[in-house]
Amino acid sequence: MTEGPVVATPYGAVRGRYENGLAVFRGIPYAAPPFGPRRFQPPAPPEPWDGVRDAGAFGPTAPKPPYSEPFARLLADPVVPGDDCLNLNVWTPDPGAGARLPVMVWVHGGALTRGSSAVPVYDGRAFARDGVVFVSFNYRLGVEGYGLFPDAPANPGLRDQLAALEWVRGSIAQFGGDPERVTVFGESAGAISIGALLASPYARGLFRRAALQSGPPEATDRDKVRRLVRRMAARLRIPATAEAFAAADRDALAEAQAEAGRRASPVLGGPAFGIVVDGDLVPCEPMEALTGGAAAQDVELLLGWTSEEYRLWLAPTGLLERVDRLGPVALAGAMARCRSGPEVPRGYRLIHPGASTGDLVGQMVTDHLLRVPLHRLADAHRAASYVYEFAWPSNVPGLGACHALELGFVFDTAGLPEAARLAGPGAPQELADAMHSAWVRFAVDGDPGWQAWDATHPVRMFGAGEPEVVYGPRDRELALWEADATTVEPPPVPPRRTVLPLSMVRRFRRTGGVRRP
């Protein structure tokens, strides 16, 4: 405890560790423990401490249910017990004030219900090795961070993220970082969170650049969140209030949350926790703010997706094969999910004549939910946006170029056992070198190394060979949605308690998707 770098923060000094020539600090509180009277409330500053606080180990993770078994095999999600879960970590090549190095702040994904900064794939050593001060943090998840109650403010988890960025603004110079050169980047729910922060007046000036990986700016319908809270309350036999939930056992809350959200997925839909428009931190729909000029336009953007996002959501549970067996019923369900006319699935079939029904449904929903809005965002921020697609297929059978697969390459941690769960053995190091260096370049000077977005729609493809720029690789599919929006009357929204047509839901429950005589 007498060795290791010591840095002063606004609340007290912390002692980190030297690891491979880099200074690493873990588990630094940026806010007080969000329990007791602070439960379901906005984050409060941490209590100052005397002396030097040890920052050698990851701090507690936010309460969360475990992944279901099929996903637990693929996605590492460590649990560190304790109440002080609003903490962050710093990797820096130079822990001295005055270095003024670029800063990258990671916002983890996990559907706003799982994940943490302690996931091994998110190790920041490669960024620090390459001259960047790297920060990652935990924030409240699930009902703790995104439940809607009549007696508590909305979006406490997003408010945690804002508090972490404010800590970076005020403290990162002491760790060698430049508070004027902050890049936030996140994947999936992390990217959705960044989209909301981009549109929030409270976050202006806290970061200069942003990378949104596989997640668009969006707000969740308040009714979807309320339905999930009510399901939990019914299971727990308590009122749907913050006061009642705060008095409930934490393990019981986690179990109720897992059960209430068991049937929901990005492809099938269903009630879910998410960021909501609250008239304050999120004053309006984030996409509307970002494309309509109501939000800051001076933030440089890196935007992208994987080629087969949907395979992580559908393949591990066998749902992809069940969708194949449903055939036209599944396509009708996709139309209802996306509120599209029949010309959209017909167009996808013409563009991809050899694709299975499961692949067509997956690509349709992925384009509607993710690629269309990210295209819109890039169009609204031309000359300051760069777009990529990750196309390398996993060596794990059935996963393809699925959601979250690019993370081990962006972090240059693809060789870790936890990354190999998703990528399989033999992930190409040259691909990690290319992606990681592009993210570092973007943080350093705002240019990841390829042409900025314009009317030709340049997309950097990271695949099995040398990365290359392809022009308009998704334009034919995305044009179908533009035509659909202008010429086709969308079908009615499905009944509130169903996401797919009722016949499809019943068949799934009765037969597992197999048509029986």
Q: Phi-psi region for residue 77, left (φ > 0), alpha (ψ -120 to 50) or beta? A: beta
Q: Which residues contact 485 (CB under 8 A, 6 or more apart)?
A: none
Q: At 389, phi and psi to the nearest 5?
A: -135, 135
Q: What share of the chain is helix, strand, coil (3-state, %, to 5)?
A: 40, 15, 45
**SS3 per-residue string spanning 234-287:** HHHCCCCCHHHHHCCCHHHHHHHHHHHCCCCECCCECCCCCCCCCCCCCCCCHH
Question: What's the rounded Cα separation, in Å, for the pair 91 and 128?
Answer: 6
Q: Is 10 helix (H, G, I), strand (E, B) or coil?
A: coil
Question: Distance between CA atoms of 170 and 98, rounded to whole angstroms?
Answer: 14
Strand-pair category, 300-306 with 209-213: parallel
DSSP 8-state secondary structure symbol assigned to residue 201: G
- Radius of gyration of the chain, Cα coordinates, nearest whole angstrom: 22
349: left (phi over 0), alpha (psi -120 to 50) or beta: alpha
Task: Please give the distance of CA 187 from its chain centroid, rounded to a whole number.
Answer: 4
Contact indicator for 392, 404 with CB cutoff of 8 Å: no
36: its two tokens: 């007791």
Residue 281 to residue 344: CA distance in whole angstroms: 36
Report how far residue 125's alpha carbon sits from residue 122's, in angstroms, rounded to the nearest whole number.
9
Q: Cα–Cα–Cα angle for 509, 402, 331, nearest 5°?
A: 45
Amino acid identity, residue 304?
A: G
Q: Is there a contact between 218 and 192 (Cβ–Cβ < 8 Å)? A: yes
Active-site residue numbers?
188, 309, 403
Give me the residues paired with residue 9 across strands.
12
